[in-house]
Structure 1
Amino acid sequence: MNMQINQAMDQAWERRKLVAGALKTAHVYRKCADYEDLFQEGLIVYAQCLQEMADQPQEEADKLAFRKVYWRILDLLRQKKRQRDHDEPLLAAAFVGQADQHNLLLKEAWKKLSTSEKLLLGQNILAGRSLKETADLMNIPYRTASRIKKQALEKLRRQLA
């Protein structure tokens, strides 16, 4: 029994182009991250088919094996997609929780800024105005606006770290 399995695996490896063709038909290419795993799974299915149909002509066995390998690969791809679809909302929820925590920290740090720092960052970063426009709006020199912005960002970094 063990000898038959080894022979079937050797034959499957010698005719691995059939498995590669089934992968190509299923639109799984070498650049796909799961290609090697799917290829190995295809070889196993092909070897099982060769073992089951040892008494049939090689051409007939290969036709049926190709279809079995193809459908097994599609089943595995569907299974991976279902798993990924199931996991994505869980991951998104985890990131939303982290984002909420970061927002709370940012709000606390924002409260500690001076009014001029809040106004400058609000106009420059949040409103999308250039630093020159913001300096003109606040009626301060550009150099002072640059210094205030640098200090405010440094305060935020220290408080959020």
Structure 2
Amino acid sequence: MDSTTTQRAWELALANQAVIHGALKKANIWRNRPDYEDLAQEGQLVYVTCYHRFCQEHETFSERAFNCYAYQAIIWHLRNILRRDMWLSDHTQASLDATVPPESDHLAYNFPESLIALSIRLGQIQELLSQRQKAVLVRHMWQGEPLSQLAVDLDCPARTLRYDRNKILRLLR
């Protein structure tokens, strides 16, 4: 890689910003992303690298053919970056989740008075609840089962279960 080739590659990269920004758009990277400028700069670096590779592989230079070649290479590179970032964020979040104590232990340790008050309140309102409402309380509110699945199991509309959930929440307040 000599300096004239590199200079020519950068001149082409600056002249063909539409190719780079088109590749960003094709990779679903929009201007409102916080790292848009970083990814655009990555696209420019890939464009310059592709220029060197293209000149070595082809005896004649066609700017149209090269732009197609660079466009696809930029898309692949950007998608690899996005894939890596997604993988890192998933694994980082998983490791952070592993260090956080379970929510119930956290609440029992920090707020014993409120847990005692909550259990007393639940004992009081349980007499007021129907069987369906008790199922909503246990299966949806404690175990996290979706209301849509609970509606199928109880053979009633999900809307009714939403009303039941709201009634339970009103009673708990």
Deviations 1:23-68 (A, max 9, x none): 1111111112332221111110001122333441111111111111
| Identity level (%) | 24
In structure 2, the CA distance between the partners of 1:93 and 1:56, relative to structure 1 (3 Å rule), is same
Match of 2:105 in 1: 100
Cα distance in 2 between the residues matched to 1:24 and 1:76: 15
Q: Which residue of 2 aligns with 1:19?
A: 20
- Work out which of the residue numbers 64, 67, 85 in structure 2 matches 1:62: 67
Q: What do the CA deviations read for 1:125-156 (whole angstroms, capped 9, x no partner)? A: x964387xxxxxxxxxxxxxxxxxxxxxxxxx
CA distance change for structure 1 residues 5 and 99 in 2, over 3 Å: closer, same or farther? Answer: farther
Instruction: Spell out the pairing of 1:81-160 with structure 2 (5 A cutoff).
Output: 81-96=86-101, 100-107=105-112, 110=113, 118=117, 122=121, 128-129=170-171
Amino acid at match of 2:22: G
TM (norm. structure 2) is 0.58
Aligned-pair RMSD on alpha carbons? Answer: 3.2
Q: Distance in 2 between matches of 1:64 and 1:38?
A: 18
Aligned positions, number:
124
TM-score normalised by the chain length of structure 1: 0.62
Return 5+ residue gaps in structure 2 as ranges: 123-167
Quick check: which has more Rg, 1 or 2?
Answer: 1
Given that 2:121 and 2:172 are in contact with CA atoms closer than 8 Å, whether structure 1 keeps it comes out as no
